[in-house]
């Protein structure tokens, strides 16, 4: 596939995402869909009270248009016609994007409850988990009926290890954890969007090396959409992506990662999200068992924030970690 098609996906997603903000932000302000700040959070976050949420619709719309247009170009311009006659790859792409949208739906319900009730907490944890479990099962089943019946995990330098039936419950837990990990990373202006741009570009390289052209388009569309959103989300943010956006990005990262079937490389590319989520787990365990906190506040990006790091410094540092991890993942795959 010509690389310019990937560039077209990025440009389309970026443009639509950026322009959508011009109309969406005033609308969100008009209907009073603003962020309610957590009372125990950093005191300086109080100034963000009322900032419009659900800004994630910017890159959801942008990525949808970009994928549709770029995939049509791919089908039209493909030199290897036989490679696109089989619609299985298209259905796999569609299944992945629908999975991302279903997670966005969970996030939307969460944001809507927050906006209407004017409280920091939306859906109950059990409600979220139940919906995520159902949607994760549905996505795994869709991959199964589309031909992905392997129950193996590829370990670098060791090869494939077959986990048998236990593969499915393990993968469902893995999918739910990663989706929520991305969601937790959305806590500082520009952080989740910037880290996801890096992850998206890392997946573009990986998917291109594997010949997964449909998912390289998906990855580039996500990266381009997040870049357009950052015009409105960098500090000081004019809009937040909300759970609508972060859950969509979580679903996207999981879908793209599972398309590659490089489960461990997925964890490496997603290392920033995973560290953020593990910091919450460690904090809870420590506090419940010893009564002491490991971090000043979790997720860990808030620990750095309360230690004096500026939001820009945190975004740059975390993004560099993600970039190094993404490069390493591609190097490992190509060895």
pLDDT in tens, 109-161: 999 888 877 666 678 889 999 999 999 999 999 999 999 999 999 887 778 89
Total domains present in the chain: 1
- Give strand pairing partners of 154: 160
Cβ atoms of 152 and 161 closer than 8 Å: yes
Nearest-angstrom CA–CA distance, 64 and 239: 20
User: What pLDDT digit, counting tens, does each position of 204-217 carry?
Assistant: 999 999 999 999 99
Residue 304 pLDDT exceeds 80: yes
Structural domain span for residue 291: 3-334
Q: At what angle do helices 3-30 and 191-210 cross, to 10 degrees?
A: 150
- When pLDDT is averaged across residues 17-34 and rounded to a whole number, the result is 89
User: What pLDDT digit, counting tens, does each position of 77-86 carry?
Assistant: 765 555 555 6
For the entire predicted model, the pTM comes to: 0.93
Say if residue 299 is preceded by a cis peptide, omega within 30 of 0: yes
Specify the pLDDT at position 79. 54
């Amino acid at each position: 596939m010509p690389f310019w098609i990937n560039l077209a996906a990025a440009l389309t997603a970026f443009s639509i995402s950026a322009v959508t903000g011009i109309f969406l932000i005033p609308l969100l302000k008009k209907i009073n869909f603003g962020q309610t700040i957590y009372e125990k959070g950093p005191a300086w976050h109080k100034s963000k009270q009322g900032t419009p949420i659900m800004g994630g619709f910017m890159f959801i719309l942008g990525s949808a248009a970009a994928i549709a247009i770029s995939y049509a170009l791919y089908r039209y311009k493909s030199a290897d016609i036989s490679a696109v006659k089989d619609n299985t790859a298209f259905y796999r792409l569609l299944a992945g994007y629908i999975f991302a949208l279903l997670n966005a739906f969970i996030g939307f319900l969460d944001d809507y409850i927050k906006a209407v009730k004017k409280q920091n907490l939306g859906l109950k944890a059990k409600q979220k988990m139940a919906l995520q479990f159902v949607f994760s099962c549905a996505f795994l089943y869709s991959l199964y009926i589309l031909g992905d019946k392997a129950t193996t995990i590829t370990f670098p330098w060791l090869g494939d290890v077959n986990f048998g039936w236990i593969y499915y419950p393990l993968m469902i837990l893995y999918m739910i954890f990663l989706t929520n990990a991305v969601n937790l990373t959305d806590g500082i202006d520009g952080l989740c969007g910037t880290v996801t741009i890096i992850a998206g570009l890392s997946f573009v390289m990986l998917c291109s090396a594997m010949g997964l052209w449909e998912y390289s388009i998906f990855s580039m569309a996500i990266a381009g959409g997040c870049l357009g959103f950052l015009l409105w989300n960098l500090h000081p943010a004019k809009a937040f992506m909300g759970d609508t956006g972060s859950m969509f990005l979580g679903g996207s990262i999981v879908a793209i990662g599972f398309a590659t079937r490089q489960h461990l490389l997925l964890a490496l590319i997603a290392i920033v999200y995973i560290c953020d989520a593990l910091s919450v787990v460690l904090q809870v365990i420590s506090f419940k068992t010893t009564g002491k906190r490991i971090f000043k506040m979790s997720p860990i990006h808030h620990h750095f924030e309360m230690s004096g790091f500026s939001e820009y410094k945190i975004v740059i540092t975390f993004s560099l970690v993600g970039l190094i991890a993404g490069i390493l993942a591609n190097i490992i795959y190509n060895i």
